[in-house]
Structures are given as C-alpha cells and as structure tokens.
Amino acid sequence: MTDTVKIISPIDGRIYAERQVATGAEIEAAVARSRHARAGWSRLTIKERAGYVEAFLDALLAMNDEIVPELAWQMGRPVRFGGERRGLEERGRHMIALAEQALAPSVKTDKPGFRRWVAHEPVGTVMVIAPWNYPYMTANNIILPALMAGNSVLLKHASQTLLVGERFAEAARRASLPDGLFQNLVLSHADTEKLIGSGEIDHISFTGSVEGGRRIEKAAAGTFATLGLELGGKDPAYVRPDADIDNAVENLVDGSFYNSGQSCCGIERIYVHADVYDRFTDGFVAAARGWQLGNPLDPDTMVGPMAQGRFADLVREQTAEALRKGATAHLKARHERDEPGSPYLAPEILTGVNHQMSVMREESFGPVVGIMKVADDEEAVTLMNDSPYGLTASIWTRDLDEAARLAPRIETGTVFANRCDYVDPGLVWTGVKDTGKGGSLGEIGYANLTQPKSIHLKEI
C-alpha cells in the first residue's frame, strides 16, 4: 500500500486533504528532469528568466482569493488577514528587480594587461523544505531567487500545508516554466533525508525546528551541498524609557499574537524599562483584549487555532509552569474548545516572569508573551542574549543613535528599531546560535544560491 500524508484541519480536526507520497521511481525521475531543465535555463539571460519568473509570481498572486480560505483550513490563519499576498509580492518584485545587480560579474580593473572578474553561476539543483506557518512567503524567499539565479528547484512542503506546494506547481504551469525546472514533491521524512544524501542536491534550504535542522545537516554530511537553515526563535523586544509607548504597544501586541504567535520573528518576550513599565503593561493588556480567538473562517476573528493541538499543549505547559513559579496571567480568556490536545488557545500575557521560566528562554511559537521589568540598557541586553536563539530583536526608542549603539551587542540576525515581525527583502534574512546558518533575500541571498567562478585573462 502506498503511504499517504494527511492534512488534519485545526478548524474541526477532520482530514482536509490527503496525498500519496512519491515513489522511489518518481523521485528519481524528478531529479533527472530537474538536472535536464537547469542546463537550458542557466543559459538564458537574466532578463529572459525574469519574464518567466514574473509570470510565475503573477500566477501565484492571482490565486489569492482561493488561497486565503485554503490556508485557514490547513493551518488556521484567519481569513480577515488576506493570506500572504502583500509580503509575497513585496519580496518577489524586489528580488526580481535586484537580480541584474546582484548577479552581475564583479570586475577587477587594478591590473593593466589583464581582464579579471568573478562570475556568479547557479549552484545547480536547489531543494526547498518549507514550513507551514508562512507557507508561501518562506518558500518563495528561496524559490524565486533560486530560479532567477539559474537554478532548478525541488519543493518539499510541510505536511500541514501540502496544498501550498500544489499552488506553486500550478503557478509554474501557468507561467510556462520549462518542464522540470520547478517541481513539487510529496515526500516522507525518510525519503527527504535519502534525497538530501544522494548527492543530487546542490543547496538545501530548510525552515523548521532545531532538531529538524540537525537531521538535515546529518543527511547532507559528505555531499558538500550548501545549507540554509532557519530554525528556532525566541525574539525579544526592549522598550526604553524614551519610547513612544502607544506605538510600541500597538505594534508589539500585533507582533506577539498575529498568526496565533506562530511567526518566525514574532515577539515572545518583552523587557520594559522600569520608568515606563506600568504604563506600557497596562496599555498592552488593554490592547490585547481585542485579539479574540475564534473560527478563522469568520471575518471578525483575530486569532485562529494553532496549527496542531500538540503545539498548543506546549504553550499550555510553559504557561502553567510560569504560573506555578509565581507569574501572573492577565487575560485569562478561554475558548469552549480550549482543552488539552485542542489547537484552540486564546492569547495570554504573563508578568512576574523571570529566566528560570521556560516561557522566557525556550521557544513557545504560540500566543503567549512574558513582560519583564528591567533597570537599564545593560540588564535588557543581558536578558535579550540569554537564549539559545537569535533571529530578530527590536528596540523601542526615539533615539536611533542609542539603538545603533546597542545593536552590535545583541546576538541576533536582525535588530529593528520601532518595528518588529517584518522581513526586509533589501537586507538579508539570517540568524545566529541555534536559529541556524546561511541567509536568504538581498544580495547575500543571491550569493548563497550561486557559485563564484574567477575568470583571469592575460593579454599577450
């Protein structure tokens, strides 16, 4: 019997879709098609590739009305937010426009009598192992620039969001991408690791858990494939005494509870200077009361169920531990389905927290946030760094010089001032410590999807 993968909808616990996993023969055929397609694709000019890739992006964006409710059924995001269209388009258009500059040869003119440059050639076949939480944007952070750089792409999407892979494949068909250039594969974990270890993959991009990242590294060992890993996170915010408190409250509530807290760069812990702690906390609690949990298909719902009940149970355990150790819960909201094993979990705010509580150091990836009082910048930076993760951090202050002074001391891939939970395609998306290695987007994103080649010509 052929194995299948099922999407269990967090809305009602029923099977929303079921797909067969690819057979060994189908995987081998996909790899062969990918290898064949990239040979001709890499010979096209960047402008010629851009025509196809723009059509690919346009086709994906045109499906948005169908995608939005589909996402609600697959992973619980409320329909009121309109899917991922805005971020998908912003990043996609930016990376297409950037390609000519980022992929242009680096010409060296300092030696008369020589013609010298560094070319940026495609790495070959890129495998994208995409997550369920932002299933379109995270996947396309790699897919689109990989294609623009001249590579072929194999997509293995998360089992929770299998239909996203099919949408990408349909967009590729509508854009008339060459056969085999982009392929969506439904794979088991074992077959994924086998394919990674086959030597047929030249670059692997994985977004997921730390343990998943370790398995990817182990599977790729000895193949010399390059890796891009975005793993866990515990993103902090620091509210300084000179912050615009109303602005900080509005944005940090959104950063904490949007997507049920299931955001790679969502806010999981907040440190507030003692001078403004009470005002900030009171405002934060008041604003958060508007983030009501409900059915994600209801246009009034702000917070949907988490993708799986086990994810919600982890947040329940962290919250219960914090309360046992003396923390205070401020919202205390409950849903009729809020029980062990249920993905329905209302947002919660905890004060009286400290770093002996797992909710302040270990990833939650759900709708809970701890708010902790600090005495000064020194204490804030020390606590922000007291985590095994490092994706983003945000500083809330009117003094950008002070933000710039603190930024180098914060162990993270991105430091924001006066914003959070955002991916800037003009920079690089990267992490430190257990959050991973490599980087996507911006010029560095292209560098990680290409192989440098030195051309050294001597005149005679």
Beta strands in 138-279 (DSSP E): 152-157, 182-185, 203-207, 226-230, 235-239, 267-273
Share of the chain above pLDDT 70, in %: 100
> pTM for this structure?
0.95
Q: What is the set of domains in the chain, with CATH numbers? A: 4-232+434-458 (3.40.605.10), 235-388+392-424 (3.40.309.10)
Residues 369, 256: contact at Cβ < 8 Å? yes
Q: What is the pLDDT of residues 118-174, one digit of tens each?
A: 999 999 999 999 999 999 999 999 999 999 999 999 999 999 999 999 999 999 999
Residue with tokens 């270890």: 197
Q: Is the pLDDT of residue 1 over 70?
A: no
Q: Is the pLDDT of residue 39 over 50?
A: yes
Q: What is the pLDDT of residues 175-210, one digit of tens each?
A: 999 999 999 999 999 999 999 999 999 999 999 999
Residue 50: burial class (beta carbons within 10 Å; 0-12, 13-18, 19+): middle
What rounded mean pLDDT belongs to the chain? 97
CA distances from residue 246 to 241, 250, 265, 366, 372 in whole angstroms, order as listed: 13, 6, 21, 24, 18
**Exposure string for 425-460, b = 16+ CB within 10 A, e = fewer:** beebbbbebbbbbbbbbbebbbbbbbeeeeeeeeee
- To the query of whether residue 265 is one of the catalytic residues in this protein, the response is no
Which residue type is seen at 69? P
Q: 337, 332, 329, 333: which is closest to 305 by C-alpha?
A: 337
Residues 169, 183: contact at Cβ < 8 Å? yes
One of 264, 268, 348, 411 is an active-site residue; which one? 264
Residues 56, 177: contact at Cβ < 8 Å? yes
Cα gap 430→241, rounded to integer Å: 29
DSSP 8-state class, residue 269? E
Q: What is the pLDDT of residues 416-426, one digit of tens each?
A: 999 999 999 99
Bridge partners (DSSP) of residue 270 are: 237, 371
Q: 154, 254, 150: which is closest to 204 by C-alpha?
A: 154
Q: 319, 240, 329: which is closest to 285 by C-alpha?
A: 329
What mean pLDDT comes out for the span 59-75?
A: 98
Look up residue 26 and give its two tokens. 């189908």
Look up residue 414 and give its two tokens. 């991105």
One of 84, 230, 363, 411 is an active-site residue; which one? 230
Q: Is the pLDDT of residue 265 over 60?
A: yes
Residue 267: burial class (beta carbons within 10 Å; 0-12, 13-18, 19+): buried
What mean pLDDT comes out for the span 228-244?
A: 97
Q: Is the pLDDT of residue 2 over 70?
A: no
Q: Which residues contact 447 (CB under 8 A, 6 or more apart)?
A: 102, 120
Q: Which 3 state secondary structure label does DSSP give 38? A: helix
Q: Is the pLDDT of residue 42 over 90?
A: yes
What mean pLDDT comes out for the span 301-326?
A: 97
